[in-house]
């Protein structure tokens, strides 16, 4: 997952030509479905990774009293890091445009 983050993905939305998005599949709807499925995969992987990192902090804090609750700087920095990452949809669109996504059409 780390190698995908190193590619330059815009951190905001930009206008895209529908014709160019539909070129690889020949159908804009198929292209959108492929991008959406990849975005879901990326989002699930990021959520799992973030949950694993934050779980380390929750295991150490057993007591729920207000006196023992404190802000953990590392936990905040990890959360901020994930907030700064590009959205999964933008990453999926970039991968689709660069031809990095493999898909196949199931013929019946």
Sorted by where each begins, the domain ranges of the chain are 15-60+72-108
User: Can you give the pTM of this predicted structure?
Assistant: 0.75
User: Of 39, 57, 35, 36, which Cα lies nearest the Cα of 47?
Assistant: 39
- How big is the CA angle at 87 (ends 36 and 51), to the nearest 5 degrees? 100
Q: Specify the pLDDT at position 62.
A: 52
Average pLDDT over the chain reads 80
Structure tokens at 102: 């493999």
- Give residue-wise pLDDT tens across range 50-91: 888 878 776 655 555 444 445 567 777 888 888 888 889 999
SS3 99: coil
Give CA–CA dist 73/9, Å, rounded: 27
């Amino acid at each position: 997952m780390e190698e995908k983050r190193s590619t330059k993905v815009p951190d905001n939305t930009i206008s895209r030509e529908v014709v160019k998005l539909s070129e690889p599949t020949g159908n804009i709807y198929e292209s959108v479905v492929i991008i959406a499925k990849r975005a879901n995969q990326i989002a699930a992987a990021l959520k799992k990774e973030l949950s694993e990192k934050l779980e380390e902090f929750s295991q150490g804090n057993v007591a729920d009293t207000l006196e023992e609750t404190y802000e953990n700087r590392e936990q905040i920095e990890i959360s901020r890091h994930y907030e700064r990452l590009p959205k999964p949809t933008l990453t999926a669109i970039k991968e689709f445009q660069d031809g990095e996504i493999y898909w196949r059409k199931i013929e019946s």
